[in-house]
């Protein structure tokens, strides 16, 4: 929960007790668009899952999934993109008051679905 208003999808990238995670900020809707639109009515396709809070709302991700183990879960998982490998662009972080200069943000080059394009 961020600012008490929206959920975000963070994936722990280290063992318990070590603070390291990946924040999934956006996705390009390709499957399940009708369901996502029912979760976020009146959203343009471009804005359906662009931004961490919108992404969680569109996918129906709630607090019940907090702590879900992606290695064993059947309720939450990640998949490799279909088709050609996307070109990845590395940029500086956004939405932070410190360490903004660090290049720890990875986006699909040229994607209109990226939240806050570089």
pLDDT for 64: 92
In this predicted structure, what is the pLDDT of residue 94? Answer: 84
Which residues of the chain are under the pLDDT cut of 70?
A: none
Q: Distance between CA 107 and CA 36 in Å, rounded? A: 22
Task: Count up the domains in the chain and report the number.
Answer: 1
- What pLDDT does residue 80 have? 79
Is 69 part of a structural domain of the chain? yes
pLDDT at residue 45, as a whole number? 96
26 phi/psi in degrees, rounded to 5 = -165, 165
Q: What's the predicted TM-score (pTM) here?
A: 0.85
- Range(s) of the domain holding residue 47: 9-85
Q: Could you tell me the CATH number of the domain that includes residue 73?
A: 3.10.300.10
DSSP string, 30-65: -S-HHHHHHHSTT--GGGTTBSHHHHHHHHT--GGG
Res 116: pLDDT: 82
């Amino acid at each position: 929960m961020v600012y008490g208003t929206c959920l975000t999808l963070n994936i722990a990238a280290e063992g318990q007790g070590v603070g390291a995670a990946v924040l999934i900020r956006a996705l390009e809707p390709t499957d399940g668009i009708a369901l996502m639109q029912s979760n976020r009515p009146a959203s343009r396709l471009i804005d359906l899952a662009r931004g961490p809070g919108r992404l969680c709302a569109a996918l129906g991700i709630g607090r019940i999934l907090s702590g879900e183990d992606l290695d064993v879960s059947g309720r939450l998982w990640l998949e490799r993109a279909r088709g050609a490998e996307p070109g990845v662009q590395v940029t500086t972080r956004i939405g932070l008051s410190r360490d903004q200069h660090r290049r720890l943000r990875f986006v699909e080059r040229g994607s209109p679905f990226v939240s806050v394009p570089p």
